[in-house]
Each structure stands twice: as C-alpha cells, then as structure tokens.
Structure 1
Amino acid sequence: MSLDLPPIYLLPTNLQPDELHSLEERIPSLTWNAHEAEILLGRITRPERARFELRRLKLETEEIPAPTQSVENRDERPSKRQRTSESDGGGGRDNVAVGGPRGSHEAQSTTTSSSTIKVVKLSWLLDALDRGVVLPTEGYLLYEGRKLPVANEKPTPIADTPTGTSPVRSILKRAAADKPDRGDPAANPASPRTRHQQTRPYASPAQRPPLLHETTSEHDLPLPPVPDFLHTSYSCQRPTPVDTPNAAFVEELKEIRTLRLLQGDNVGVRAYSSSIAAVAAYPYPLQTSAEVSRLPGCGAKIAKLYDQWRESGQLEEVVSAATDTKMCVLKLFYDIWGVGDVTAREFYSKGWRDLDDLVEYGWGDLSRVQQIGVKYYDEFLLKIPRAEVEEIGDVILSHARKVDPGFQMTIVGGYRRGKAQSGDVDVVLSHPDESRTLHLVEKIVVSLEKSEHITHTLTLSTRNSDRKQEPLPWKGEGRPAGTGFDTLDKALVVWKDPSKKDAPHRRVDIIISPWKTVGCAVLGWSGGTTFQRDLRRYCKKEKRLKFDSSGVRNRTDGSWMDLEGARSEHPARDMVTAEKRVFEGLGLVWRRPEERCTG
C-alpha cells in the first residue's frame, strides 16, 4: 500500500542519475512542476541551500518563522560551514558562523495547504518508506514559507520543463542527462568530490536562422522615429533612464548576458551589453520585432528574442538554464563576494558543487576576501534600501569631518543613479585642501573600526597617497590590459550597524580623491557598467585620451589633463561642478546620474 504523501518535487542536487530515477519511481505523489508541490525534497542540509533552491526555481515565498527547536536535529553531521566562525582568516570582532538558524516545527501532519511549501531533507522520505508510515517533518524541516503570487505568471511550455509531463519526453530527457560528460574537467578520480553528480556542461540552444515572425497588422503599426541620440554607438552620449518602458525585456536580456559571462564568452557579454543599453535607452514601449532590429547593437538576433519574449513572457535559454545544474552552481559561486566568473569555473572544475564543498575541500585555498564572501553569503545578497545607504554615508562623513569639517562626500554607485535598492554602498570623500586627503583613508578606517561600524577591512590601498597624490601618467599603448580599477586611495570593508543587534553585514567601499581629480572620481564611480565602458572607448577612439577615476591623461605624451580646473583661478566649488567640467572637457553633454543606467 502506497503512502498518502502530499505533492512532492524532487531536487536533483547531489543525486546521481540512477539514484534520482530510482527515487522518482518510489514517490507516488511526484510532480514535475515545483509550483504545484507542497514539499521540496532533496539531499541538502542547510536552510540557506533550501532558500537558494527556491530562488533557482523562481518560487517566491514568505518565510514562516520556526519555533525554537525542541528535539535533536536528525542530520547526520553538523554543518561544515560552522568552521568559518573560527577560521575566516582574521578580521575584527566577528565570531558568527555562516549557517543560519536551523529551527524546526513541532510535530504536525505532513500534508500542508497548497498555499505553503516546505523544503525537507531527503532522509524524511527514506525514513517514511522504511517504516511504511507518513512521518511528521519535525527534525527534517529546513524551510517553510507561504507561496506568493507571481505577477503575470504564465504556464511554462512542456518543452521547457526539466523532464516534461509526457512519458516519452521524460525518457528522452533522462537519456540525454545520462550521457557521459566528456569535457568536464571535474571528472578527476583523485578529487574528493567524486561522489557528487557529474552534470553535462550547459550549452545555449542551437542557433536558428533569425526569421522574424510578423503579422499583417504589425506592418500597419506606426512606429515612432528612432531618437537622434540612439544613432551613436556610445551609450555615454545618450540618456538612459533608471525607469525604462521596456524594463521587463531588459531584465531577460541581462539574464542571458550573465549566462554568457559564466560560459566565459566575453564577446557575447560585450554584445549583449550594447543591446541592453540600446533597448534601455529607447523611450517608447516596444511593439514589434522590426522596431527592435532598428536599434544599435540589436539586429535580427535580439529582434528574434523579443518575439519569443512577447509570446511567452520569458526566453527559452533563461528557462533552460534555471534547471541546468552546472549553470546554477556557477551562479552560486559567482554570487560570492570576491569570486569572478573565471574563479567560479575553476571551483566547478575541481568538483565543488556548493558552499559546503568550498569550506570542506578548498577553505585553505580561498583568499581572505572569498572566505568572508562565503561566510556572509546570504547577508551580502540582501539589497540595501536607500534610507540605509544614506545612514551609512552620514556616519562615514561624520567621521571624516572629525578630521576636518571641510570634507565633502558624494554617495555614488547605484544609489546615485536612482536605484531603490543597492547591492553595496560606494562613497567618494574629498576636500578642497589637497593636504587634507593625504593618508585620510587610514584615519577613517581606524576611526570606524573603533566605533565598531567596520567589522572587517578587506582592502586598504594607499597608492595615491604613497605617490603624493600626483595623477599617474599614461605609460603608452601595448601594456597588458588591466582591470580598469583606479589608483585612488580606497578601503573595501564589511560594515555592520553596532546599534542594531540583528543588523546584516553590508559591503561598503570608501574612496578618497584629491580635489584636482574629484570630478573624474565621481564620474567613474557613478555610471552603469556599459556607460563606463563606452566612456573609456569614446575617450580613446574620439579624443585620444585615457580616462579612469583617478584622472584623464593624453595618450600622445602621457600628460595629465586638468579638466576640472583645479589649478585655475576658479576651482570647482563642489564635486558635481567638477564632474560637469569633466563632461565639458571631453566634449560630452552632461547627463544626470539617473540617465546613466545602461545596465
């Protein structure tokens, strides 16, 4: 007699194909649609991983707080991430483990309302099958939440589901999944991770001829003229607002750009960045694929994607990647502060598949920044509201003005571009008296550490002060390509409000600029990524200049150019005036920060 189980969705994470298929056959209430499930089941042991799986499946939930755990946790071993509280490589007063709370509910029936969802350990199912009775989830529960409605939710086509609902389609999908991964360098018999699932590498859908679907009525639609500012390939020459009428389509294109980044396709990243910037700058709601193909950097390929998105509300490649184990793991690693796309692929090639693997098998090989990134992984993913960004900025400015009341500060980054929430906080500090900014960064960090606002100082650079704050000359073409990171004094720190016991840790960057280059500093830290890329490209191609946040240099003789007028009779009275002078000196129209949102 089969057990009367609620609808269950089985997570493939850490399951070998044979084991996965065996478990599927033993679950009488198995569903292939995670949105229909009342229980998500998998070989996972941490609440953080449970939340990650929900995000990966695009299941929006509101967590139901768990009562204090009253029975011994049934996990086979303690979370490996607990070690991080003892071995994060140093750093202030921190002694909090990475893992979150692990409370569980009191005994209750396993049948839950369809409006809630539980993520439980695989051992719950195995124990229930062994005993022949449905067990309560007490001791097995990792997460419970109320399902939230998804705006404009549309059913996913069968072809885009992990295995489909058709038995034939299921067999074909399983056969494809069982193919050996010939190109995966993780298949190393000496690796301690050989017990984990070896998944085939993600590949984007095969390229199809870009045939655009158009109806007769579309030809009759009057299309607005392409604005003059969209006839340039430089996004720094056009306004790109924070609120674009085509935001939903832009977000889907950003997802594909992230996939290209994780695949190591830098050419694809640049191409999609140009397309995204053009669509984001277009001031009218898109109506047809022909309208898309007119935009710079778009053409037939992006127009085809627009057709696909308009018909289904999603892009096939994004849907496919959301259920691809390798891409999900790469995204998990890439979201660690201090880990780029190259390092994420290196981690995957070593056979590591989650944060626990980094702690158990590679902790000693991680940099201190990466160790902190793992330790506060979930906290760093939390967005920072504008009000909190302003509070952090006010604290930093107050400490600077303890050194000298004449200091000025501009909060840059996404906050200055008008975003409602930020991933981190970036501030630029300066003073009209150049002597006051010399070695200021060290004084600010010491002061904020004493006040217990800074818990970890990850990077402290005094390169600008070490050379007496003189702008670095341009050393000519042919040098190895750098990261584009400026040479200003700066501190990259972990921040926590000491007045709030449960305040999350935040990422904060404090940049110090001498007054003579403060316009470049504010400009260089304020624009979107593509805006900054095109600004450098424009300076190089059109002006024969080298721009970065620490100044503008002439590519012909390497000399620094005083675009801000710092050495004139009338230096800029404030940072924004200095920034406007840089725009003027480069021959560019002034764009408000809210118009530099190229994505």
Structure 2
Amino acid sequence: MSSTPLDLSHLPPTFLLPTRLAQPKANEISSQLRSCKCPLTSNPADASLFVGDINMPKRCEFELRGRGLSVCSKMAPDAKKVRVVKLKWFTESHKNSKLLPIDEYIVFAGYVQPSKRPSPMSSEQSEEQEGALEKDVAERQLKKEVLRRARLDRVRDREEKEHDTRDDIRKLQDMKLLYAAGRRRRGIDGLVAMSEPGSENGTRKSTPEYEERQGEVVSRVRPRLLKEMPDWVQQHNKYSCCRPTPLISPNAEFISLLDTIKLSRTLTSDGVGIRAYSTKIATLQAYPYPLVSPSEVSLLPGCDGKSSALFQEYMTSPDHSLAVVRELEKSPSFSALKLFSSIWGVGPAGAREFFYDRGWKTLEDVVDHGWGQLTRAQQIGVKYFDEFQSPISRNEAREIAAVVGKAAGKLRAGMDYTIVGGYRRGKMEIHDVDIILSHTTHTMTTGGVVKELVLELEASGHITHTLHLGRELNNTTTINTHSYGFDSLEKALVVFLAPTSGLHRRVDIILVPPVSVGSALLGWTGGTTFERDLRLWCDKEHGWKFTSEGVFERITGRRVAGIDGTWRVGEKMVEAERRVMEGVGLRWLEPCERCTG
C-alpha cells in the first residue's frame, strides 16, 4: 500500500456504511478515509455520499431507510441528491494511489428528504413537513396494528380449541393411536426437560429399549429379520401408494427430525434432496414397528446408509437429536427462510429473495421496507399471517364447509360437497380447508358455478378476498380427453371469515364434474408423497397420466377405458374413488391410511 494518501477533500460529506464489515475492518477503513482527508460524518442525515460493501440498489435503499432517511427515486422539493458507491472504489484507489472514476462504481443514486433538525422555513412549509411526517408515522402504525391484531386473535382461538377437540376424539376408532399420540407428547416434554439447566446429570438415562456400550447401541429387543417385516418391505416396494400409512407412527420423534432436514432442502429448492427425504419419511411413517437398530433401517425401501447413520446418531445422542438439526435450528438464515416461505404467495424462491436480495429478516421488515413491492396475494399473506398460521380445528373446518355447501345448494339444487386434504386423512388440526363440490348431473357443474358461488359468499361477508379464480367448466371439459399440464378443474382460492372464531382462513373450493369425482377425491386427499407416487405408479407401471380430472392415455390423451370414476345418482362419492383406485391396480386404502407427509 502506498505511503502517499489520496486527496478526497473534494468529496461531499461522506458516511461509511458498516454493512458486512466487522468492527475492526470498519475502523481501519474509516481511518484510511480520514487520512485521505475525506469529509467523513457520523450522521447519515448530513451525508450526500455513502460508501459501502453493497452491490444491489434495493439493498442500498434498505440501508438508507434503516438509518432514518426517506429515500425516493425522483426529485422532490427540498430533496437532497445522494449516491452510494461501492467500497471497492476506495480500496482499489487507495491500493493503487490513484483515484479511479467514481461513476463506474455508483450502485444507487436517488434523493432523500431533508433531515428533521430545525432549519429556516416558512410556517406553511413547516406545517406541510409536519403533516407529511405525521402521515408517514400513521401509516407505519397502521401496518404494525394489522400484525398486532392478528396475534391477539390467536388467544381467542386457543380458548375455543378445547371445545372442538372433545368432539373429534370420539371419532378416532383406534384407541392405540391416541395412546401413541400421548406417548409422543410425553417424549417431547421429557426431551425439553432434559435440555433445561438442573436436569439430573444432563444426560439421557438408560431406557428399557436401549443401552449404550462403547459408543454403539445394542438393542435389548432383537432386530426384526427381513422375513418378519411387512410384505412391502420384503418386496422392496418404494411406492407409498401401495401400502397403508397411518397418521401416527411409533417412530414419530425420529421422523420429525428428518422433516426438519427435508424443510431445509425445500427452502433451498434442492429437488433431489426433497425427493430423497420425502421417500425416507413416507417409508418410516408406514413402518408399523418401533425401530430398534440401524441395520433394521437399512432394510427399508428408500432408506440408504445415510438413513442408518442418522438413526445411529439419533439413538446414541443424549437428547435423541441430530447435529444437523441442532445447527439448522440455531441458524438465522434457516429461521428467516422458514418464516418467509410460510407467507401465502411467497414460497421458497420468494423467501430467498426476501432474505438474501432485500435483506429482510422479520415480518416487520417486510411491512416497513417492502410493502409496495409485494404482490396483492403476498400482501394478504402478510396481513393475515398469524391467522393463517393458527390451526383450524375439525369443528371449524366442518362449519366453513357447511356454509359453502349451503350456498352452493342454493345456486344448484342437489349440489353436494366433501372436505378433502388433511381433514379427510384424520388430522385434528389443519391450516387450510379444501372442499370438493359436485353434482351427479354434468350440466349442473357448468356455467360459472364457482364464480356465482364466490359472489354469493362475498355478498354475505364470508369471503373477504379472492386470491385466484380458475376458468369455467363447459359441457365438454374433462369428459373425454386431457391436454393440460395440471388439471383444469374450476377452482377458487379464497380468504374466508370463519363464522365462530372470526379468524380469516384459507379455503380452496374445487368444482368437479361427475365424471371426475373419483379421481378428484383420490388426487386431493393423500399426503404429498402419496400423490407423487400415485402419479409415478400410473406412469411407470401402465404408461398412463393421472390427474384430478381422471386417468388418461399418455399417447392419445383419451381416458383409459375401464376406469370409471363417475359419481352416479344413489351412491356416495367415495364409491367412485374406490373404483378409480382399484382400476389403476392398487388395493383400496382408507383416507387415514394415506398420511405420507
């Protein structure tokens, strides 16, 4: 580095942005700037030039706003022009003892409103400025109030949940499932207790199932041989649609750890990782016995050596955990991406943009710094974030579906409905309500029924926002052929104001012609991996394409002959679903046996 400093005294008042700079590095650069006679200021409101390790204009705006500056791209009365220059401009100039052209390193150029400190102005100007500031503060408070109101509503939801649960417990016929669910809760409570300060010895005591010897776990229960395992394991059948998968698993604690790893793959859009962990989780969820050894895991379809190693670590860990999961749970980036991806309308790609490109870390950041950059659907997702995240009880789901069904029946006499998704699989709590509407007469499902229904429910105050309204069915849609990448069923994705709880809920209304009822029920009920494997089964085993409209020949696009999913007068919808499932060569599985995750 040259001993002759540059002369930067010609620069306007300059502020060094500390973004991405450790404190020692920031101090070093600050000293170098002063040695070059740069007019540094500690107050960003006084600066016209900002130097920072920033490469994106949006990030520049975020940093300036974070320091109390009102940034705009167009010139306004009394606005001051500011520029943000890359730190590289100074470091390279300083290194070479030669001032580089600054214009080539400008990242952002815009205008800011004058600082709030007193300055000579007329009383009229003073009143206008104060009014603008008051308006800005009021808007910020309004946005924060939206989030606060939704959080308060969660308290009311918790108080009502106890009444809903009692009714649904009676509907679970298998009391073993209830025992297993309670055992899992006690296990989680115990795990939390062991991790708290003051727990005895700070280590897991020996259990009746396992003991530790020289770093290896020797099971006190003999591992099952392959011939003692279920048929689908012996046949090494990876298709989750070919085996029953219950809602409750004896290996739920280990599966929940794998779910966290799978989520990390989802947040990074790692397609291979998502598929691999989805297969492992679905297999473990279906396995009816408590796992007792890594060798037993290695025999399960879709579970490789890595799965066995993870189970080995899980068993030998004092707190029954995995190092990778502990690291993820401590990671600020994982927490932020998980938060943003759960906003309706954002998803993993949008979450990465929010966090990495725009520098947002909380919902408050989104509201304060990016509200105008969100799509309408994303704004609704943020506005009702806490309400959408609040679980929906089975009673509340039935209540919402009854309102929708009643309104549909008024528009088309004889219209019937079924709640699908997680509700139909037996979940005690869900996060959205999926409702299939249909009629045994095809013409009663055409002519814009869903649009009429949405207008009716909007007029009654039940639907507050329509997020998506699909195309109308006509008299030939989906009867004979299929030519779309997904299904072409008429849908409405809406925000619904629940009558009793008063919370805003996500509801999907799907209108299905009678010819497609069997396949629609099958396509909208199973867990994600079940639905994935159902489509793979039809494709790989038969050369067919399965969608919620029906089963079609891939070459001709016509319906497969002999697979009859039509809902007829005098029968229940489920009978059409059973014919489709058996028609594609699968044995019938109850909805509660399709819980693959």
* TM superposition score normalised by structure 1: 0.63
**Structure 1 position 348, deviation (Å):** 1.5
Is 2:399 the partner of 1:391? yes
Paired-residue identity, %: 44
Partner of 1:182: none
Q: Distance in 2 between matches of 1:151 and 1:584?
A: 44
One-letter amino acid of the structure 1 residue matched with residue 344 of structure 2: W
- Check whether the contact 1:329–1:354 (CA below 8 A) recurs between aligned residues: yes
Specify the alignment match of 2:456 in structure 1: 447
Among 192, 200, 216, the alignment partner of 1:153 is 192
1:508 maps to 507
SS in 1 for 2:192: coil
Task: Give the structure 1 partner of residue 181 of structure 2.
Answer: none
- Cα drift, residue 214 of structure 1: 4.0
Match of 1:582 in 2: 580
AA matched with 2:230: P
- Do the aligned residues in 1 keep the contact of 2:514 with 2:566 (CA within 8 Å)? no
* Contact 2:246 2:594 (C-alpha < 8 Å) held by counterparts: yes
Show CA shifts across 1:447-498 (max 9, x none).
11121111111111125x157433584459xxxxx6xx52210111111135
What secondary structure, in the 3-state scheme, does the structure 1 residue paired with 2:437 have? strand
What's the offset of the Cα at 1:357? 2.4
Q: 1:97 aligns with which of 128, 131, 146?
A: 146
CA deviations 1:296-338 (Å, max 9, x no partner) are 1112211111122223222211111111111111011011011
Contact 1:427-1:509 at 8 Å conserved across structures: yes
- Structure 1 distance, partners of 2:372, 2:421, is 33
Q: Aligned-pair distance for 1:509?
A: 0.5
Give matches, 1:331-480, under 5 Å: 331-350=338-357, 351-438=359-446, 439-463=448-472, 465=473, 468-471=476-479, 473-475=481-483
Shift of 1:407: 1.4
Asked whether the equivalents of residues 219 and 292 of structure 2 are also in contact (C-alpha less than 8 Å), the reply is no
1:269 and 2:282 aligned = no
Instruction: For 2:22 and 2:503, locate their aligned partners in 1 and report how far apart those are by CA, in whole Å.
Output: 39
Code of the residue aligned with 2:493 in structure 1: it is L
- Say if 1:80 and 1:342 are closer, same or farther in 2 by CA, change over 3 A: farther
Does 1:597 find its partner at 2:592?
no
Deviates more, 1:270-279 or 1:358-367: 358-367
Question: Number of matched residues?
Answer: 411
Question: Separation in 2 of the partners of 1:151 and 1:218?
Answer: 21
Unaligned runs of 5+ in 2: 1-18, 25-65, 67-135, 153-187, 198-213
Deviation of 1:590 after TM superposition, in Å, equals: 0.7
Aligned position for 1:554: 553
**Are positions 1:322 and 2:329 aligned together?**
yes
In structure 2, give the amino acid aligned to 1:408: D
Q: Which residue of 1 aligns with 2:537?
A: 538
Q: Is the 8 A contact 1:491 1:510 kept in 2?
A: yes
**Cα distance in 1 between the residues matched to 2:437 and 2:477:** 14
Asked if the contact 1:474/1:546 (under 8 Å) is kept, the reply is no
TM-score (norm 2): 0.64
**Cα distance change on mapping 1:424 and 1:325 into 2, 3 Å:** same
Aligned ranges 1:87-126 → 2 under 5 Å: 97-100=146-149
Q: 1:424, 1:507 within 8 Å by CA — same for their partners in 2?
A: yes
Q: 1:443 to 1:563 in 2, by over 3 A?
A: farther
Contact 2:337–2:355 (8 Å) recurs in 1: yes
- The aligned residue for residue 313 of structure 1 is 320
Confirm whether residue 260 of structure 1 aligns to residue 265 of structure 2. yes
Specify the SS of the correspondent of 2:232: helix
Deviations, residues 226-285 of structure 1 (Å, cap 9, x unaligned): 211232111001100011111111111111100111122111010000000000000001
Superposed CA RMSD:
3.1
Instruction: Give matches, 1:180-199, under 5 Å.
Output: none
| Structure with greater proportional helix content | 2
Corresponding residue to 1:229 among 232, 247, 250: 232
Is the 8 Å Cα contact of residues 397 and 407 (structure 1) preserved in structure 2? yes
Separation in structure 2 between the aligned mates of residue 333 and residue 562 of structure 1, nearest angstrom: 45
Q: What whole-Å deviation, never above 9, does each CA across 1:94-148 have from its counterpart, x for those lacking one?
A: xx82333899xxxxxxxxxxxxxxxxxxxxxxxxxxxxxxxxxxxxxxxxxxxxx
Residue identity matched to 1:266: G
Structure 1: segments with no counterpart, 5+ residues: 1-13, 20-43, 45-76, 86-95, 104-148, 159-211, 477-481
Residue 488 of structure 2 aligns with an amino acid whose one-letter code is T
1: CA distance, partners of 2:137 / 2:335 = 24
- CA radius of gyration, larger in: 2
The 3 A distance-change label for structure 1 pair 520 and 82 is farther
Residue number in structure 1 paired with 2:496: 495
For 2:453, the aligned partner's letter is I
